């Protein structure tokens, strides 16, 4: 019998529980494909962009995924600041 380790709670991590698909979709909703391609200049955002092609690329490319996650965190901070002011 094996003891299952419960998942670690991360209540202060805004990426916890978010799928890569939901992150990309939120960025596209906020910036649009053109804006996303300007901020992170990769082909999957600039040439015939789609969620599916972006996910394939980002899952294989750790540096690009880090940039997407960083931009998502930046977007959340900006939204929080705009909500207060």
What is the mean pLDDT of each successive set of 10 residues along the chain, which is 85 residues long?
Answer: 64 85 97 97 95 96 96 94 76
C-alpha–C-alpha distance, residues 85 and 80, integer Å? 9
Question: In sequence order, which residues have a C-beta less than 8 Å from that of residue 15 and are 6 or more positions away?
Answer: 23, 69, 72, 73
How much is the pLDDT for 83?
84
Say which CATH topology domain 20-84 has: 1.10.720
Picking from 21, 19, 61, 22, the residue whose alpha carbon sits closest to that of residue 40 is: 61
How much is the pLDDT for 15?
85
How much is the pLDDT for 61?
96
């Amino acid at each position: 019998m094996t003891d299952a380790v419960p998942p670690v709670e991360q209540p202060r991590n805004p990426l916890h529980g978010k799928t890569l698909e939901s992150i990309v979709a939120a960025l596209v909703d906020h910036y649009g494909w053109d804006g996303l391609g300007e901020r992170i200049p990769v082909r999957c955002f600039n040439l015939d962009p789609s969620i599916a092609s972006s996910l394939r690329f980002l899952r294989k490319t750790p540096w690009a995924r880090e940039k997407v996650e960083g931009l998502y965190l930046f977007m959340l901070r900006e939204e929080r600041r705009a909500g207060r002011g």
